[in-house]
Amino acid sequence: MKRILVTGGAGFIGSHLCERLLKEGNEVICLDNFFTGSKSKIIDLMGHPYFEWVRHDVTMPYYIEVDEIYNLACPASPVHYQFNAIKTIKTSVLGAINMLGLAKRVKAKILQASTSEVYGDPDIHPQTEDYWGNVNPIGIRSCYDEGKRCAESLFVNYHNQNDVRIKVIRIFNTYGPRMEPNDGRVVSNFIVQALNGNDITIFGDGKQTRSFQYVDDLIEGMIRMMATGDDFTGPVNIGNPDEFTMLELASKIIELTGSNSKIVHLPLPQDDPTQRQPDISLAKEKLNDWQPVVKLEEGLIKTIQYFDQLLKDPK
């Protein structure tokens, strides 16, 4: 049995990861400051004898003995990471330093939840891991993008200087049950708007693209990455290469919910990437033929069911 620390464990992805790690017979410590996470996401795990949760902020040092660390603590939705931009940078950077210091002290393996945002508004398509990205260092997304880029640099340097066993994954847009209705990201926004019969808010002309990954596929990729040998550190893209425009996503969600909602166009936020699609050749090669198996429609149906239930019976 391994003892595993999951920072950001009470968030959308973190709660799925804690659940999966417990199912595999591990002891799990979920660390979270509940900024965007909530106890409701981990309530079903709380009775598990090998599950512990801790209210703690990763910007502060934390001492524990563990075998593995998954570092997910960081708000991920533009609305939330821009709410307190300085705090977002501190969470990414100081959080990475503290968790790397911990990994160094106890010789734990540590995985960083990095992001496709390190590629910024990419001018190569699809994005491969050797692309350095096109990020505006002073724009409204920079607190998140540069925070995550600095964290990647910290990971690589703790590996090179201190032999810390690191794993860096670059996660592309992920969705699924346990997203917050007010999370602000596009899939949850459109589904909640459609179910409530409200206008669907497309930012800009809706021709920008994203490639959406269902959360179960991501969790499988994370577990496989952690299990790779110490010589493979990443970064590796984990995402679904099926690419859609926001107009296509909106129509799909209207169709699947049977909603009467109308599409309205709002201004496009600054620095909003125009296209995004992962090249997943490296993940396939290094992660035992890993690739996403859940198609957009199938994943959306499950996510719509989740929100439908949640809106009828808010927890």
Stretch that binds ligand NAD, among 51-59, 254-262, 271-279, 297-305 (CB under 6 A): 51-59
Cβ closest to ligand NAD, residue 95 vs residue 206: 95
User: What length does the chain have?
Assistant: 315
CA dihedral (173, 116, 111, 189) in degrees, to 10, reads -30
Q: Which amino acid is at 166?
A: I
Q: Which of residues 195-254 bind ligand UDP (CB under 6 A)?
A: 201-203, 208, 210, 246
**Smallest distance, ligand UDP to C-beta of residue 122, A:** 12
- Count Cβ neighbours within 10 Å for each residue of 216-254 and write b for 16 or more, e otherwise: bbbbbbbbbbbebeeeebbbbbbbbbebbbbbebbbebb
144 classed as catalytic: yes
How many of the chain's residues bind ligand UDP (CB under 6 A)? 23
Q: What is the largest CA-CA distance in the chain?
A: 58
Of these residues, 144, 158, 175, 214, which one is catalytic? 144
Backbone φ/ψ region at 74: left (φ over 0), alpha (ψ -120 to 50), beta: left
Residue 189 contact, options ligand UDP, ligand NAD, none, Cβ 5-8 Å cut-off depending on partner type: ligand UDP
Q: Which of residues 95-124 bind ligand UDP (CB under 6 A)?
A: 97-98, 101-102, 104-105
Question: What does the binding site for ligand UDP look like in residue numbers (CB under 6 A)?
Answer: 61-63, 77-78, 97-98, 101-102, 104-105, 173, 185-186, 189, 201-203, 208, 210, 246, 269, 272
Which residues contact ligand NAD by CB under 6 A? 7-8, 10-14, 32-37, 57-59, 72-76, 91, 95, 113, 115, 171, 173-174
Which residues participate in catalysis according to the annotation? 144
